[in-house]
A and B are shown apart, each in its own frame.
Chain A
Amino acid sequence: MSSEAFAYPFLFLTIFFESFLLITFLSTPARASRKRAASKKTPKVAIIVPCWDEETTVGGTIESLLALDYPREKLDLILVDDGSTDGTFAAMNRFAGNPQVMILQKENGGKHTAVNLGIAHAKDAELIGCLDADSFVEPQALREIIACFDEKEVMAATASMAVHQPRTILQRVQYIEYLLGIAMRHIFSITNSIYVTPGPFSFYRTQVFNEIGLFRHAHLTEDMEMALRMQRAGYRIENAIHARVYTKAPATLRKLFKQRVRWTTGFLRNVLYDYRDLIGNRRHGVLGLIILPISLISVVFGVFMFGTSVARAGQDLVHTIGTTSGIPFTYIVTNHSFGWFYLPYSTTFFLNGILVAIILSLIIMGKRVSRTPGRLMPDIVLYIFVYGLISPLWLITSVADVARGAKNMWR
């Protein structure tokens, strides 16, 4: 059976999935959620900033938090230095005199231990949030987040995360990818299917930690594990699409690769080992029946399709070299038939085109509804061509790492 025949069931699933996302995005509850105004309520909030070797960015992170449009007496910042080896602690100490700021220092034990220490010190807060020390918030972000908690059943809320000042090609590709992420998180929130509460500016009711416990190591993806644990407990996780937060994206392929392998192996290990009961579970609705199964299939299929495409391209190359050997190069290069007749269309070609079109529309809508600044062109073109080439690298490595039980590192 050809690889194209294997592709059809996956294409069917993917078109179904993307159509579902699109329809949910256009549904009445999604429209209502986009109209939600920033809150005027001011519950007591603590924001924890776990830091490990972030001397260059932590200052900006804290300054953006101090600039939040929120009463000072209702907002505590808890900065936790998780055994940094650079000047992070000194950078944090610049804010030592500020009554809103509490600075803690501990031996390195992993991000989850730093956040947990912060939670232990946030005793009178109604809401506890986190912000990675390489991220920056807009002044209105907290009020947008707090509006989500107007509904009693909402136990956590996530923000709209964008890339901070994308410069390199890889950062610009990630800028587009994050816009898609904004749209997806917004849609997932409508069906209560969010399975990651990202480090940059996710908030929890304090009772969450009392009821289901603190953060865990969770295969280096503590934010995903916490969201999955909340989903298992039947909690609701919301998304504040107008709460904008910007994070530094990896600038080099090596750093991006490492980050994505950590994310993907974390996803696979959490879902396959620790939260397998959620998959296909009707009690967890769209998350259990659609999102987790399709996300898992996507990883496996991505690896399979990349493998078969590379093998096929290799075969074609060997065949072409063999067939054309001895023929003048100018003939080989110029001997191509043109016209509509020779268009290499096929069913999979068109279906893939439709998939790309839906993804592009989600990216554009993600940008528009979140009002994220920045340009779409030509980065969106870069995204289409570059992302498909590089993402299989970490998918393959992640599947291999999980299969052989390899340990992954944070950086």
Chain B
Amino acid sequence: MSLSTRNALIALGMTVLIIATVTYAVGYLDRLRLTEIETMQNTISTETLSLETQFSLLEAAPCENAASSTTLSSELADLGNRLSYAEDQLGSTNVQVVQLKKQYYLLQIRDYLITKKLAAACRVKPVIVLYFYSNANDCKDCDKAGYALSYLRDTYPSLRVYSFDYDFDLGALKTLIAVSKIERPLPVFVINGKQTSGFTSLLDLEKQFPKGALATTSSER
């Protein structure tokens, strides 16, 4: 065997080894990412369950926990960001991503229900936004609307934004869509129960909010 042939064979082996190692490492990091999301989800799920259990035990809303509910919502937002990033990286059809997204949507719906209960029982007035978007290329304004809502949520801590992929296959979500009477065209916003569709600008979106709702300090109590 000539020197060149030998070197070419070693180089080929090296190439296969490098690519296999990198593929494994990327897969490992991706699994770590998903595990982190799963861990966050489990924590939030436990805390949500704790709140729900307190409701049941006291047979009334545990109003002193309204603040912790707000913290939960911001954690939920962080979880949503991470899940969205993981979805971008791994693809929306990734089995684990789909499973995590289902759990995330369930958590959002449970948090939404708890927030409504707390609002009714503890005389707090959180601003609740349900946001329905689509990834099916039929919603050219969804990205703009999503970014504007992220800005509002980050700027006004009292806002509670729950985002849902309209076409996602989850029973609880379909029920939420049915009871909220959400229909295309998207995006659709439900701001404190009032439904609007379409997005033109941040300014127009802000006008949809109740007066004083967009204050930089919490106005829940």
Contacts and interface: CB of A to CB of B under 8 A. Distances in A.
Contacts of B175: none
B176 interface: no
B4 A286 contact: yes
A331 B202 CA distance: 13
Interface string B127-154: 0000000000000000110011011001
B4 A327 contact: no
Interface string B181-207: 000000000000000000001110000
Contacts of B36: 341
A351 interface: yes
Contact of A351 (B19, B147, B151): B19
A325 to B, nearest CB: 7
Interface stretch (B22-30, B54-62, B107-115): B22-30
B85 A341 contact: yes
Q: How extensive is the interface on chain B, given as a class? A: 20 to 34
Interface in B1-32: 2-4, 7-8, 10-12, 14-15, 18-19, 22-23, 25-26, 29
Nearest to A17: B11
Contacts of B144: 322-323, 325
A252 interface: no
B82 interface: yes
Interface centre among B33, B85, B144 (most CB of A within 10 A): B144
Interface centre among B19, B33, B82 (most CB of A within 10 A): B19
Interface string B79-93: 001100100010000
Contacts of A210: none
A16 B154 contact: no
B155 interface: yes
Given A23-B7, A27-B3, A354-B22, A16 B151 contact: no
B22 A20 contact: no
Given A16-B12, A323-B144, A29 B19 contact: no
A385 interface: no
Q: How extensive is the interface on chain A, given as a class? A: 35 or more
Contacts of A23: 7, 10-11, 14
Contacts of A331: 151, 154-155
A327 B147 contact: yes
A20 B143 contact: no
Contacts of B203: 326
Nearest to B86: A341
B78 to A, nearest CB: 9
Nearest to A335: B154
A342 B26 CA distance: 13
Interface centre among A22, A27, A341 (most CB of B within 10 A): A341
Contact of A24 (B7, B19, B26, B89): B7
B119 to A, nearest CB: 28
B8 A290 contact: yes
B33 A341 contact: yes
Nearest to A192: B4
A326 B203 CA distance: 8
Contacts of A27: 3, 7
A19 B85 contact: no
B18 A351 contact: yes
A285 B22 contact: no
A29 B33 CA distance: 47
A337 B143 contact: no
A16 B85 contact: no
Interface centre among B7, B8, B26, B155 (most CB of A within 10 A): B7
A326 B202 contact: yes
Interface string A317-354: 00100111111100100010100011001110011001
Nearest to A29: B3
Interface string B23-47: 1011001000100100000000000
Nearest to B144: A323
Contacts of A11: 19
B14 A12 contact: no
Contacts of A17: 11
Nearest to B82: A341
A351 B22 contact: yes
Nearest to B2: A285
Contacts of A22: 11
A350 B26 contact: yes
B7 A326 contact: no
A322 B4 CA distance: 54
A16 B16 CA distance: 9
Contacts of B18: 15, 19, 351, 354
Contacts of A285: 2, 4
Given A12-B15, A290-B8, A325-B144, 8 more contacts: A16-B11, A16-B12, A19-B14, A190-B3, A191-B3, A322-B143, A326-B202, A350-B25
12 contacts: A12-B19, A15-B19, A20-B7, A23-B7, A191-B7, A322-B144, A323-B143, A323-B147, A327-B148, A327-B202, A341-B33, A341-B85
Nearest 10 A/B pairs, CB to CB: A20-B11, A19-B11, A326-B202, A19-B14, A16-B15, A350-B22, A23-B7, A15-B15, A323-B143, A323-B147
Interface of A: 11-12, 15-17, 19-20, 22-24, 27, 29, 190-191, 285-286, 290, 319, 322-328, 331, 335, 337, 341-342, 345-347, 350-351, 354
